[in-house]
Chain A
Amino acid sequence: MRTPRSALVALATLIPLVAAVGCGGPSTQNDVSTYPAKGRTITLIVPYDAGGAGDIGARLLKPYLEKEIGTNIEVVNRPGAGSQVGVSALARAKNDGYTIGFTHLPATIATYLDPARKADFERASLEPVAMYVTDPTALAVSADSPYRTLDDLVRAAKAKPGKVTVTDSGILSDGNIACLRLEEMTGVKFAVVHGGGGAETLADVLGHHTDVGNLNLSGNTAELVRSGKIRLLAIFDKKEDPHFPGVKTGRDEGYPIEVATSRAISAPKGTPKPIVDKISAAIERAMQDPEFQKKATASGLRLSYLDPQQLDTYWSGMEKQVRPLITLAKKG
């Protein structure tokens, strides 16, 4: 069931549309030197509900990106089906550089790789523009859990196959992928519970309804760790995180897994390369604005810019990780 969204959003979409029609004139698309054309608005599709973490992050960036790119940006929420609806709209949009959008990874990858989802887009439908936020996956337990390390967990799962419960935010979410990789590496079997997202997982961990929960590091995770309510067994990242002192990476504990939920920005396929580069550079500059950085840090955003080339490489790596897990995840 979808939640109601705002008529204000409708208005916000309509106004630039009318403006665009009004300012018609001869089209200067694909001309990089005049991009963005004066008075033309860039649409930024957010494939999630207004007010979700992804949306707030986008709205935070908007004014700074507007300043750097030199025109108005409209954030348009096209939520539904775990981002499938919005990404599909992005892939179908005109590739003139006036529509860009968020393609969260691995959600986008899992959508087009899974034949059951019947997605009408593939990797080639999208042009990577920039990475905005990368939020590593971590395994969390309640403070009184007997597990203190990843090894404890694996040993317990070996002793009671299929009995240790692990909650994630949905099938083929980053947490699910971490868990499947761990099963693959060690041969253990968890009882995987597909939940509805971070808040639900947190409630399940704190209420002892699950043995382990997959959480991301943004939001109030650090606060909960600091208060001693939950403990992180491992973070599936390259290196240790200064906000989580003493928490080892998966690699350090002998399980070299790197998974995150990442907010990548893409454009429809065929958007001219120079325009893509121009947008990407503007995003990079906006992300370096000290005032923006202060607000982003306060909101718990883990900024991590990648240029189009680097994002493409990251995307390939993630896709390589996800592809073999599709059928495995369905087996449950």
Chain B
Amino acid sequence: MEVLGLFGNGLLTALQPQNLLFAFIGCVLGQLIGVLPGIGSAAAIALLIPVTFNLPPVPAIIMLAGIFYGTNYGGTITSVLMNMPGESASVVTCIDGYQMARQGRAGRALGIAAIGSFIGGTAATIGLVVAAKPLTSAALLVGAPEYFALMVLGLALVVGLAGGSLVKALIMGILGLLVGTVGIDPAMGVPRFTFGRPELLDGLSFIPVVIGLFGVGEILLNLEKKAQQVFRTQVGSVLPDRDDLRRSGGAIARGTGIGFLLGLIPGATSVIASYMSYGVEVRRASDRSRFGRGAIEGVAGPETANNSFVNANFIPLFALGIPGTASVAMIMGGMMANGIIPGPLLFRDHADFVWTVIASMVIGNAILLILNLPLIRVWTQMLRVPYGILFAVILEFTIIGAYAVSNSTFDLTVMTVAGLLGYLLRKLDFPLAPLVLTLVIGPLMESNLRKALEASAGSLSTFVDRPIALTVLCVAGAVVLWSVIRGALARFRRDESPVTPDETGTTEVPRSTP
């Protein structure tokens, strides 16, 4: 196969010491950026682009790409250990990953996340090798109506997944949609709900809201407890046992697929990929009550999906010159600054370059896996720090993270309010996940709905006339219908044999004896 030959040549070039070094630097930087909340890969790549002017193009882009996919490895760490997403794609990992940490399974959570990330990232890169062009053409079939339909499916999968009350989940979902409407509207440029404050013109910043809801809310909740009740001090094994593997295998495979498909579509975000994967895992589970209490699939699936997403994101860039996310747009900027213009002729005109960068992604993912597994023991040592000290450090991190997003003290207010809200909502047993999802999806859903309607002169028939949009909407309808039926059945059964009332995910874990 010609492709394999080209890939082999790329692999040989990527293994040259200089290229290997820059892949390593990129991965380490990405990992660190992932750990720090508030700093995204996009900003990090932007700041490093001038550095790459003094490098040859191949190592420069290898490094920038490494930052991009490395970030998703790092983002998991604070989600699991502190309930604070280091990267927006790791928000959903907080739900079960943090519970695993509290049960003394932090090592396994991080271990399965690293393994899943490796599999997802590598599989997506193989997809890039095998069929970049046809895949991109297929992804281009997704226009505004299809995109809107996909968002509806995402909502349908996730609403009610927290296991608790469907009504509460819906309330939270709608609250997220409402908050998402703050700012300048996407079609007509009119400010909404900004109360004359220029800081609100662009809407509420996602990162301060999320680290407030999760991170600060968690700290407030833990302050109610005696110092040593928060974590079991043992960290547990890093490698998953047979039971973990049995539960995670399918989740990793499905996460790879979901992340890959969404990564192909320009304009999607990895947050949606990880959420969809989580939604699918909950829907498939025979015992849904495990989710929110440390189900390993809830970590394995989404963490795989966001890495698969990231590597698939290179496919539309390399095949057609369309950057799918802000980070990839910046990598494109870095390529152009080095005289390599991404477009349909890239594989023909710069074959050596492309194949080397692709090969470096396989190497980079391996580096990250090798780097991460032993490091887990180091990270988890953090849990040995007495909580009284740890929470102060975490709080400091959240403040820096929220401020760093736009260098604005307004975001600190946003974070504080979100933190208090998060605390209250948790006390009242309202799930946070639907709120965060609709906060991401809402604006995307709105702009695509309005684009679709602008193109069809306001006619809703566009959703019926377009087969892909119609199919996806029907699937979403079926998902909702099924969960209503399932809920009714469950209630029917519960009436027959009363069970213990639903527990929340914040169950106290007894202190273990060291």
* Residue positions of A touching B, CB distance < 8 A: 1-10, 13, 49-53, 55-56, 59-60, 62-63, 76, 78-82, 84-85, 88, 114, 116-118, 120, 162-163, 165, 167, 170-172, 191-196, 199-200, 202-204, 206-207, 209-210, 219-220, 222-224, 226-227, 229, 295, 298-300, 330, 332
Contact = CB atoms under 8 A, between A and B. Distances in A.
Contacts of B267: 196, 199-200, 203
Interface stretch (B285-293, B328-336, B482-490): B328-336
A6 B43 contact: yes
Contacts of B447: 196
Interface residues of B, number: 78
Contact of B42 (A1, A50, A116, A199): A50
B439 interface: yes
Given A85-B198, A167-B451, A194-B451, 6 more contacts: A1-B180, A3-B43, A9-B404, A51-B45, A82-B184, A203-B267
30 contacts: A2-B202, A3-B326, A4-B39, A4-B40, A4-B43, A4-B405, A5-B407, A6-B47, A7-B36, A7-B400, A9-B407, A49-B42, A50-B43, A50-B46, A51-B43, A51-B49, A59-B49, A79-B406, A163-B457, A165-B455, A203-B140, A203-B322, A204-B143, A204-B144, A207-B143, A220-B336, A224-B344, A226-B345, A227-B344, A298-B337
Interface stretch (B187-195, B251-259, B294-302, B491-499): B187-195
A170 B189 contact: yes
Residue among B189, B443, B450 with max Cβ neighbours from chain A (10 Å)? B189
Contacts of A6: 39-40, 43-44, 46-47, 404
Contact of A207 (B142, B342, B401): B142
B404 to A, nearest CB: 4
A195 B323 CA distance: 15
Contacts of B401: 7
A310 B175 CA distance: 50
B266 interface: yes
Contact of A116 (B183, B191, B207, B407): B191
A314 B199 CA distance: 31
Nearest to B447: A196
A223 B206 contact: no
Contacts of A60: 50, 337
Interface in B343-369: 343-345
Closest 9 CB pairs of A and B: A51-B46, A209-B143, A223-B343, A207-B140, A4-B40, A81-B201, A7-B404, A6-B43, A51-B330
A1 B443 contact: yes
B404 A223 contact: no
Nearest to B331: A51
Contacts of A117: 184, 189, 191
Contacts of A203: 140, 266-267, 316, 322
B403 interface: yes
B191 A4 contact: no
Contacts of B204: 1
B413 interface: no
Contacts of B42: 3-4, 49-51
B189 A298 contact: no
Interface string B35-75: 01011101111110110010000000000000000000000
A202 B319 CA distance: 13
Nearest to B141: A207
Nearest to A89: B198
A303 to B, nearest CB: 15
Residue among B43, B143, B202, B439 with max Cβ neighbours from chain A (10 Å)? B43
A206 B266 CA distance: 12
A209 B343 CA distance: 19
B214 to A, nearest CB: 15
Contacts of B47: 6, 8-9, 50
Interface of B: 36, 38-40, 42-47, 49-50, 53, 88, 140-144, 180, 183-184, 186-191, 196, 198-199, 201-207, 266-267, 316, 320-324, 326-327, 329-330, 332-333, 336-339, 341-345, 400-401, 403-407, 439-440, 443, 447, 450-451, 454-457
Contacts of B451: 167, 193-195
Nearest to B265: A203
A223 B321 contact: yes
A56 B201 contact: no
Contacts of B439: 1
A13 B316 CA distance: 35
Contacts of A81: 183-184, 191, 198, 201-202
A7 B39 contact: yes
A205 to B, nearest CB: 10
A259 B36 CA distance: 42
A227 B205 contact: no
Residue among A5, A60, A80, A165 with max Cβ neighbours from chain B (10 Å)? A5
Nearest to A12: B47
A172 B189 CA distance: 9
Contact of A2 (B187, B205, B338, B345): B205
Contact of A330 (B188, B403, B440): B188
B457 A162 contact: yes
A196 B205 CA distance: 18
B336 A191 contact: no
Nearest to A206: B140
